Each structure stands twice: as C-alpha cells, then as structure tokens.
Amino acid sequence: MTASRINALISEWLDAMPFWVMAAVIIAATVIAHALLKYLHFRLRRLNDGRLHLISTTAKAIHPPLVGVLWVYGLFGAAYFLVPRTLQGHSLILTVAHFCAALLGVWLLVRVSRRLVTVMDRWADKRTSMLERFLAPFMARCLAALIPIFVLFSLFPVFVTSASLDAALHNLTSLILIGSIAGVLIHGVNISERALSERYRFDDDEDAVARKIHTQITVLRKLINFIIVILAVASMLMVFDKVRQLGASILASAGIMGVVLGFAAQKVLGNLIAGIQIALTQPIQLNDAVIVEGEWGWVEELTLTYAVVRLWDWRRLVLPITYFVDHPFENWTRREKDLIGTVILYADYHLPMEPLREEAQRLAEASPRWNRRVCTVQTLEMTERNKQLRVLVSATGGPNAFDLRCEIREGLIDFICRHYPEHLPTVRLEMPERNGGNAPQPPLSEVLPGRDAAGDAAG
C-alpha cells in the first residue's frame, strides 16, 4: 500500500468521525501532553548541580512558552472542528493559531536569551581577561536583542495575508528593530566606558592620567549616546511615509529652517560645543578642586550642558558648562595637588623668632597633613603697634592645607601664651605730665588682647 493511499484512508476516516469526537480527542491529547511537559519540567528543575544547572535553567525558560504553544494549537484545533466549515472565516482559525504560535516562539527566544545573558554575566564575573569580562556579555546581549526580532521578521510573511496588516506589523517591527539596535549601541558605549574606567582606576584622586581619562570618557559617552538617540528617533520617524514626505519638504527649505533653528538652539549648541571643548582641552577634570563664584569645592559631575561642583559644606553648585570657558576660575589641582597655606600672626616686637620657627617646624612634622616641602616663618610687616608674622606650610590638597593652617595657628598661639605671654600684641600708652612738674612720667605697657587704643582711652 502506497503512502498516498494511506493518507487518503486516514483523511476519509477523519471525515467520517463526528466533529465533537475530534475536538475531544484534540483536547485530551493537549491535556496529556501538558501533563508530560509538567512532569519533565519538574524533573529538570531538580538538576541544580554543576554543569546540569544550565539544563535546569533552560527548562525554566522554555516551559511557559511551550505550554502556551501546546494550548494554542489544542484550543484552535478543537475550534477548527467545532465551528461549521460553512461559516465565513473558518479558514482563518488555523492562520490565527499559527500567528499566536509564532508570537509565543518569539517569547521563547526572548526568555532563552535572557537566561543566556544571565549565565554569561555570571561566567564573566569569574574571569580576569578584559575581553572575556566585557566582550562576551556584550555579544550575548546583542544576540538576545536582535535574534527574536529577526525571527519575527521572517515569520510575518508566512502567516500574514492582509496587505494592510502586513504593512502595520512591518512598521511596528521596524520600530522595535531600530530601538533594539540603538539600545545595543548605547550598551556597547557604556561597556566601553566601564572597561576604560576599570583600566584607569583612581582611588584617592592621585593619578592625574586616570582623572584625565575618566573626564574624557564620561563626556564622550554622553555625547555619543545623545547622537545615537537622535539618529534612532530620526530613523523611527522616517519609517512612516507621511513623516518622510514632511522631511523632504523640510529639506527643500533647509536654508530658512537652518537659520531659525540656529537662533533658537544657540545656547544649546553653545553648551554642546563647550562640553566637547572641555572634554578635549580639559581645563577642569573630575574631582578637581576649584574656586568658582567665590566658593570652594570639587568638580563632582561633568555633562555636555552643565557641571556640578560639590562645595566644602556639601552644597552643590550647578553651573552651565560655558561658565568654565567664558569666566576665569581657580583650579587648585590642574597639574599637581600640593598647595602652600598661609598663617598670619601678630606679636610684640620683642618676641624671639628662632623658638617660634622651631615650634612651627615641630608642629608641621607632627601633623600627618604636612607634605614635608615648605615650612617657614617670616616677619612680613612692622606696624606702629606690633609686627606681623607669616607662616608658610605646604600640604597635599585643599582640605589638608586648610586643616594644617588651623593646626599651626592654634599651636603657635598656645606656644606664645605658654612661654612668651608678655610678647603678645600690646598697646603702649604715654601718660601726660601732672601738676606741671618737670619730671616725665614713665611709659606704661599693658597686654590688652582684643582691645585697641581708642577703647582704652574711652575706658
């Protein structure tokens, strides 16, 4: 007996059977197949050791879509026999079943791809090579994002017969594809930034090269991502014919529109150009200590349009990025972080300088903030009442310089008060002659901290 004869007999036998019997057989077969899948899924989920864990993870990913495909064909197959064939649209039942099964197949690919990404991330975390840690997860994400969409593209012409529906689904899938490609490119840029950031690490902001690289890659990442988003949105709009015609009409009057947009976006374009200029020339870098608008702080964030400076009292000063191009500012860590701090003291003329220099040197050596480069005491100026002393000490970084100045100032004042209290700033008064006598009155010298001659005269 030939195969064609067997197929003909099976077809005659199926046609001779009542329709409700065929529907019941299909539902029963679906229930039995579901039970078998459930049992197999339960057995595979228990494989959690070693290399079998991958099989368990795959089983968890494919079980829901497979059950969905099984019941789609079961229910629509039963409906195919229960619905009279003379009814209009009867032939569309299997077409709808195939379309739903195709969507469930794409869902299955998405779930498997997500599991693949998770497995690749765990595998990459245990690797030491930069190529294995970053490139392998990136390739897994590319496959996870693009393969389901390409499968959906290939299945639509098989199951979609209507021209209008095919065009709508084609546009929708094109939008999803463009968005996925843009997401993959943005993720690739972010992965590159992570790789470079890990290659050039800086912990205590000591490495100038690392800070320079971090500043460049941070600004360039944001610029590239911005360009990718703009191109993706433009590509999505060009999918639709009406928008494409509008674009053609706009291009026809590009001269006028360019002038209008140039005036409207002057500040935006200026900020973008200033951001690119700062990324290339780098007058400031991340974690630089700067003085802007009379405030001292660190550069905490750099974007294409603004910069955030974290002030010494934890406030945030947000400035447009053009500020650092158009206005002068102080950068305390442009080349190196060593700074010289100044301490001003006032003392009597008779205060000896050598003990004071020795005490300043001792205080500097005892402080962990001193970088052992500069420590000197100088007589800066002499007034009619006292002499002005300047102490110069060096430290690494603005906070260390400020704290060291405070330590030196407090220590020297305590030293003078303990050992030379008579040489604190004094005010000398000469009393006039009394009773017309010829003998001059002796001058009086008093230690008057915090008071002046006018106050004493008033008292």
Residue 299: give its domain's CATH number.
2.30.30.60
Give the pLDDT confidence score for residue 301 in this predicted structure: 85
Give the pLDDT confidence score for residue 177 in this predicted structure: 82
Give the pLDDT confidence score for residue 450 in this predicted structure: 43
Residue 141 sits in the same domain as residue 53: yes
Residue 347 sits in the same domain as residue 322: no
- The pLDDT confidence band at residue 414, using thresholds 50, 70 and 90, is very high
Percentage of the chain exceeding pLDDT 90: 14
Query: 88 or 339, which is more confident?
Result: 339
The phi and psi torsions of 196 (rounded to 5 degrees) equal: -70, -35
Is the pLDDT at 262 greater than 70? The verdict is no
Residue 13 sits in the same domain as residue 154: yes
Residue 140 sits in the same domain as residue 51: yes
Distance CA 94, CA 177 (A): 28
Under a CB-based contact definition with an 8 Å cutoff, are residues 378 and 392 in contact?
yes
Over range 203-220, report the average pLDDT: 66
Domain boundary, last residue among 129, 161, 193 = 161
User: Does a structural domain hold residue 26?
Assistant: yes
SS (H, E, C) the chain: CCHHHHHHHHHHHHHHCCHHHHHHHHHHHHHHHHHHHHHHHHHHHCCCCCCHHHHHHHHHHHHHHHHHHHHHHHHHHHHHHHCCCCCCCCCHHHHHHHHHHHHHHHHHHHHHHHHHHHHHHHHHHCCCCHHHHHHHHHHHHHHHHHHHHHHHHHHHHHHCCCHHHHHHHHHHHHHHHHHHHHHHHHHHHHHHHHHHHHHCCCCCCCCHHHHHHHHHHHHHHHHHHHHHHHHHHHHHHHCCHHHHHHHHHHHHCHHHHHHHHHHHCHHHHHHHHHHHHHHHHCCCCCCCEEEECCEEEEEEEECCCEEEEEECCCCEEEEECCHHHHCCCEECCCCCCEEEEEEEEEECCCCCHHHHHHHHHHHHHHCCCEEEEEEEEEEEEECCCCEEEEEEEEEECHHHHHHHHHHHHHHHHHHHHHHCHHHCCCEEECCCCCCCCCCCCCCEEECCCCCCHHHHHHC
* CB half-sphere exposure, 426, CA atoms < 13 A: 16
User: Does a structural domain hold residue 445?
Assistant: no
Q: Which two tokens stand for residue 267?
A: 């500040």
Under a CB-based contact definition with an 8 Å cutoff, are residues 49 and 95 in contact?
no
Query: 86 or 69, which is more confident?
Result: 69
User: Does a structural domain hold residue 454?
Assistant: no
Give the pLDDT confidence score for residue 447 in this predicted structure: 43
Is the pLDDT at 249 greater than 70? The verdict is no
How does pLDDT run across 36-51, given as a tens digit for each residue? 888 777 777 666 555 5
- The pLDDT confidence band at residue 389, using thresholds 50, 70 and 90, is very high
User: Does a structural domain hold residue 108?
Assistant: yes
Number of other residues whose CB lies within 10 A of the CB of residue 221? 18
Within 8 A by CB and 6+ apart from 199, the residues are 130
Under a CB-based contact definition with an 8 Å cutoff, are residues 89 and 131 in contact?
no
Residue 311 sits in the same domain as residue 390: no
> Among 184-198, 305-319, 359-373, which stretch is predicted with the lowest mean pLDDT?
184-198
Residue 399 sits in the same domain as residue 369: yes
Is the pLDDT at 390 greater than 90? The verdict is yes
CA distances from 289 to 12, 214, 395 (A): 89, 16, 14
- The pLDDT confidence band at residue 458, using thresholds 50, 70 and 90, is very low
Domain count, the chain: 3
How does pLDDT run across 96-155, given as a tens digit for each residue? 777 777 777 777 777 777 777 777 777 777 777 767 777 777 777 787 777 777 776 666
Query: 338 or 216, which is more confident?
Result: 338
The CATH number given to whatever domain includes residue 346 is: 3.30.70.100
Over range 60-71, report the average pLDDT: 80
Residue 25 sits in the same domain as residue 92: yes
Task: Please state, rounded to an integer, the average pLDDT across all residues of the chain.
Answer: 75
Residue 311 sits in the same domain as residue 342: no
Distance CA 443, CA 139 (A): 91
Amino acid code (one letter) for 78: A
Is the pLDDT at 434 greater than 70? The verdict is no
Query: 427 or 424, which is more confident?
Result: 424
Residue 295 sits in the same domain as residue 373: no
Give the domain extent around 380. Answer: 338-423
Over range 166-170, report the average pLDDT: 70
User: Does a structural domain hold residue 373?
Assistant: yes
- The pLDDT confidence band at residue 192, using thresholds 50, 70 and 90, is confident
Residue 59 sits in the same domain as residue 20: yes
Is the pLDDT at 438 greater than 70? The verdict is no
User: Does a structural domain hold residue 377?
Assistant: yes
- The pLDDT confidence band at residue 412, using thresholds 50, 70 and 90, is very high
Residue 109 sits in the same domain as residue 11: yes
User: Does a structural domain hold residue 85?
Assistant: yes
Domain boundary, last residue among 133, 161, 189 = 161
Give the pLDDT confidence score for residue 445 in this predicted structure: 45
Domain boundary, last residue among 142, 161, 180 = 161
Give the pLDDT confidence score for residue 37 in this predicted structure: 80
Q: Which of 148-152, 173-177, 424-428 has the highest mean pLDDT?
A: 173-177
Strand-pairing partners, residue 429, are: 444
Residue 85 sits in the same domain as residue 145: yes
Within 8 A by CB and 6+ apart from 106, the residues are 148, 151, 152, 155
CA distances from 281 to 131, 164, 215, 264, 293 (A): 30, 54, 11, 27, 22
User: Does a structural domain hold residue 392?
Assistant: yes
Over range 364-389, report the average pLDDT: 90
Over range 283-292, report the average pLDDT: 85
Nearest to 304 by CA among 227, 233, 234: 227
Give the pLDDT confidence score for residue 211 in this predicted structure: 66
Give the pLDDT confidence score for residue 408 in this predicted structure: 94
Give the pLDDT confidence score for residue 344 in this predicted structure: 93
Over range 166-171, report the average pLDDT: 71
Under a CB-based contact definition with an 8 Å cutoff, are residues 221 and 303 in contact?
no
